[in-house]
Chains A and B, each alone.
Chain A
Amino acid sequence: MKLQEITINNFMPYKGEQKVSFPQHETQNVMLLFGDNMRGKTSFLNAIRWGFYGNAVGRHLRKISRASLVNMDAAAMGDWSMSISLKFSDSNKSYELRRQITKKAHVSSPRNDSDFEEKIGLRVNGVVVPGDVIVNEINQVLPEEISRFFLFDGELLQEYENLLIEGDEQGEKIKEHIEQVLGVPALINGRNELASLLKEARTLQAKDAKNNNELSSYAERQRQLSIQFDSFEKDLKEQKFQRDENQVQIDIIDDELKNTEAVQKKKIQLEGLKGNVEVIERNLVNLADQKRELLKTAWKDVLNTSIAPILSNLQSERDNLKKAVNNAAVLNNKIKDLTEMLDDPTCVTCHQNIPENEIEPLKEKYEILKAQAELSAVNMDDYTGITEKIDKLSRIRSAEEGRRILQTLTKESKEQVELIKVETKLEELNDEIKEYDTDHIMRQREKRDRLTGLKSRVVHAIESIKLKIEKNESEQDQISTLISKNKGAQGQQSSIRVNLYQELEQVFSQGIVQLRDSLRETVQQHASNAFAELTTEKTYSGLEINHNYGLSIIDHENRVLKERSAGAEQIVALSLIDGLNRTARKSGPIVMDTPLGRLDPKHRSNVLGYLPKMADQVILLVHEGEIDPKKDLNNFAERIGARYQIERISATESRIERVSDHG
């Protein structure tokens, strides 16, 4: 299948009519659509998807409502119509598909999907196709169930990792889609319908056998088994219904919990902030205790400034007293010497008599010294008193309580500012989540756990019933064979019918097992070939497939690589898609949004080299951070058939312009 042209009218940011032609050349088969983020690359992918299937999906594959699909500016001007026309070819047939929605006449401002009317038209080779078979016609070309392998968002490729997780719901869904692209459902549907026809045939055979004396006991047993089988089938149906109901409820809760994920994050943040408040409040209590302790002796620090000069004065006074005592001692010694000299006038040094004329001055000196000694006499009680005062004042010296109190007060005010900040944030968060009932969220989580437990029990019951059905069918088979071998029944129409259905059912049943095995082998081979070209680690020996079609990387010593990077996951997912497309019964163009987002330059270069080989047409929706128009395009310029650029007109309007034509 090849896309030829798309005409977009009022779809998301694309206001008015815009046409894009796809490259038809065999080797120049790549179309590049450049656009910055938020300009409309994903909308272009959605335009193709919506044109084919009437649905568009956002992130997390959520369906986008019809009202959101109509260009906002056009809607603001009262034009609530939107359409996509696609021209494409498949197996020498040309198709023209047009899908349109318009606001219903009585609705003024549409909100719900039901406020719109959808029209769809299809021509094949110019002939109009009746409305009731259009969907089947489209599905003959590119079935919606397998479109995920042709129209996809490169950012979501990591979902294929789920195939490696045993029992993963998402993985199961992907596996189902993989088998659809590989054509397994044709055999599964065939097997199921043949089993149903076989049951009908056995009933007819038992009716015939009832009239035969030799076979009536077999017929009776067959009848009983048939009743038992119906009962098992009924039980199985009920249990499956129960399982699906559980799953629906789990999905609803999961959706709700996803929506409240942001609230949950805020709630966790809230709990964290509450913890912060507790810590701050504890710190404040500790600081208050410290402050109280310091204040007990802080009076010392307050007195310290007054005491210091007094103490200093007392100390210098005591020093002066000490000096005076020393001076008095020196004077007394001198007086003592003079007294001795005057009593016995001989020189104390040379022991000669002192002349009479020198005695008079000595007497004068004696009088002077005596007068000085009297003047500088020290009262020792004063000295003791001062020393006692100094001792007392020294005992009330501080340990810098004032400075420490100041530090504590600074810390305290910082903590109080922090507390105000945290409490303000707490208030904001509380306001944001008050419309959500957080208790309800917790209850929903508990309910989900209960439902999961219940589902697991139901799945167990289903397995048990399936075993009983298998046993019952086996016995019915044996009885049918015994009846068929009876001479009276041989050649009877009912026995011939049973034999045919038995054999056909056997062929289809075993065919499913055989087909799955060989498909896995083929997909693994193709995917490994692709991986060898895409990976930059050339020592890896390839990929290994599991029963879910999940792929593991095998290293040079044949060991499974346990951890792989986001880039490696993307390379493996691309290899799987390539393997599936090469094995698949239907092939289509690959339209890929943001294909290179998680890749390093070397892997990017490998992928760009390989992508043109992945399909007859490859349409890449990229931004210039992924493919540098100046550098990267040289590597595969010969494969580019068309290049477009999304131009910003306004925040709500974009236009697609053709940049250059290589095709």
Chain B
Amino acid sequence: QLKAVRDKLNLAVETDLIC
């Protein structure tokens, strides 16, 4: 408790890229 935000917003940006 960044990846969770990406999943929640259902974004296309790769987790590998999520810098």
The residues in B between 1 and 19 inclusive whose CB is less than 8 angstroms from any CB of A are: 1-2, 4-6, 9, 11-13, 17-19
- Which residue on chain B has the smallest CB distance to residue A515? B2
Q: Are A503 and B13 in contact (CB under 8 A)?
A: yes
Q: Is A136 an interface position by the 8 A CB rule?
A: no
The residues in A between 168 and 198 inclusive whose CB is less than 8 angstroms from any CB of B are: 187, 190, 194
CA distance A187 to B4 in the complex (A): 14
The residues in A between 479 and 504 inclusive whose CB is less than 8 angstroms from any CB of B are: 499-500, 503-504
Which one of B5, B9, B11 has the highest number of Cβ atoms from chain A below 10 Å of its Cβ? B5
Q: Is A508 an interface position by the 8 A CB rule?
A: yes
Q: Collect the chain A residues with CB atoms within 8 Å of residue B9's CB.
A: 506-507, 510
CA distance A663 to B5 in the complex (A): 48
Q: Are A500 and B19 in contact (CB under 8 A)?
A: no
Q: Is A514 an interface position by the 8 A CB rule?
A: yes
Q: Collect the chain A residues with CB atoms within 8 Å of residue B19's CB.
A: 190, 194, 504, 508
CA distance A564 to B5 in the complex (A): 39
Q: Is A306 an interface position by the 8 A CB rule?
A: no
Q: Collect the chain B residues with CB atoms within 8 Å of residue A143's CB.
A: none
Q: Collect the chain B residues with CB atoms within 8 Å of residue A511's CB.
A: 2, 5
Q: Collect the chain A residues with CB atoms within 8 Å of residue B12's CB.
A: 499, 503
User: A512 to nearest B CB, angstroms?
Assistant: 10
Q: Collect the chain B residues with CB atoms within 8 Å of residue A190's CB.
A: 19
CA distance A506 to B13 in the complex (A): 10
Q: Is A522 an interface position by the 8 A CB rule?
A: yes
Q: Collect the chain B residues with CB atoms within 8 Å of residue A510's CB.
A: 5, 9
Q: Are A514 and B5 in contact (CB under 8 A)?
A: yes
Q: Are A514 and B4 in contact (CB under 8 A)?
A: yes
Q: Are A504 and B1 in contact (CB under 8 A)?
A: no
CA distance A257 to B4 in the complex (A): 50
CA distance A190 to B13 in the complex (A): 15
Known: A190-B19, A194-B19. Is A503-B11 also a contact (CB below 8 A)? yes
- Which of A187, A506, A514, A522 has a CB less than 8 Å from the CB of B11? A506
- Which residue on chain B has the smallest CB distance to residue A187? B2
- Which residue on chain A has the smallest CB distance to residue B15? A507
Q: Are A504 and B18 in contact (CB under 8 A)?
A: yes
User: A526 to nearest B CB, angstroms?
Assistant: 12
Q: Is A518 an interface position by the 8 A CB rule?
A: yes
CA distance A510 to B13 in the complex (A): 15
CA distance A70 to B12 in the complex (A): 60
- Which residue on chain A has the smallest CB distance to residue B4? A514
- Which residue on chain A has the smallest CB distance to residue B13? A503
Q: Collect the chain B residues with CB atoms within 8 Å of residue A187's CB.
A: 2
Q: Collect the chain A residues with CB atoms within 8 Å of residue B18's CB.
A: 504, 507
Q: Are A507 and B2 in contact (CB under 8 A)?
A: yes
Q: Collect the chain B residues with CB atoms within 8 Å of residue A5's CB.
A: none
Q: Are A500 and B2 in contact (CB under 8 A)?
A: no
Q: Is A521 an interface position by the 8 A CB rule?
A: yes
Which one of A194, A506, A507, A521 has the highest number of Cβ atoms from chain B below 10 Å of its Cβ? A507
Q: Collect the chain B residues with CB atoms within 8 Å of residue A499's CB.
A: 12
- Which of A507, A518, A522 has a CB less than 8 Å from the CB of B13? A507
CA distance A190 to B19 in the complex (A): 7
Q: Are A504 and B13 in contact (CB under 8 A)?
A: yes
Q: Are A507 and B6 in contact (CB under 8 A)?
A: yes
- Which residue on chain A has the smallest CB distance to residue B6? A507
Q: Collect the chain B residues with CB atoms within 8 Å of residue A514's CB.
A: 4-5
The residues in A between 139 and 171 inclusive whose CB is less than 8 angstroms from any CB of B are: none
Q: Collect the chain B residues with CB atoms within 8 Å of residue A194's CB.
A: 19
- Which residue on chain B has the smallest CB distance to residue A503? B13
Q: Are A522 and B17 in contact (CB under 8 A)?
A: no
CA distance A82 to B7 in the complex (A): 56
- Which residue on chain B has the smallest CB distance to residue A513? B5
Q: Collect the chain A residues with CB atoms within 8 Å of residue B11's CB.
A: 503, 506-507
User: A284 to nearest B CB, angstroms?
Assistant: 76
CA distance A503 to B18 in the complex (A): 10
Known: A190-B19, A194-B19, A500-B13. Is A507-B1 also a contact (CB below 8 A)? no
Q: Collect the chain A residues with CB atoms within 8 Å of residue B4's CB.
A: 514
User: A609 to nearest B CB, angstroms?
Assistant: 29
CA distance A24 to B14 in the complex (A): 43
Q: Collect the chain A residues with CB atoms within 8 Å of residue B6's CB.
A: 503, 507
CA distance A190 to B5 in the complex (A): 15
User: A77 to nearest B CB, angstroms?
Assistant: 57
CA distance A500 to B18 in the complex (A): 10
- Which residue on chain B has the smallest CB distance to residue A193? B19
User: A201 to nearest B CB, angstroms?
Assistant: 14
CA distance A514 to B1 in the complex (A): 9
Q: Collect the chain A residues with CB atoms within 8 Å of residue B13's CB.
A: 500, 503-504, 507
The residues in A between 517 and 547 inclusive whose CB is less than 8 angstroms from any CB of B are: 518, 521-522
CA distance A507 to B6 in the complex (A): 6
User: B17 to nearest A CB, angstroms?
Assistant: 7
Q: Collect the chain A residues with CB atoms within 8 Å of residue B1's CB.
A: 518, 521-522
User: A485 to nearest B CB, angstroms?
Assistant: 14
Q: Collect the chain B residues with CB atoms within 8 Å of residue A506's CB.
A: 5, 9, 11
Closest 5 CB pairs of A and B: A503-B13, A518-B1, A511-B2, A503-B11, A510-B5
**A residues within 8 Å of B by Cβ?**
187, 190, 194, 499-500, 503-504, 506-508, 510-511, 514, 518, 521-522
28 residue pairs bridging A and B, Cβ less than 8 Å apart: A187-B2, A190-B19, A194-B19, A500-B17, A503-B6, A503-B12, A503-B13, A504-B13, A504-B17, A504-B18, A504-B19, A506-B5, A506-B9, A506-B11, A507-B2, A507-B5, A507-B6, A507-B11, A507-B18, A508-B19, A510-B5, A510-B9, A511-B2, A511-B5, A514-B4, A514-B5, A521-B1, A522-B1
**Told that A507-B6, A508-B2, A514-B5 touch, could you supply 9 new A-B pairs with CB distance under 8 A?**
A187-B2, A503-B6, A504-B13, A504-B18, A507-B9, A510-B9, A511-B5, A521-B1, A522-B1
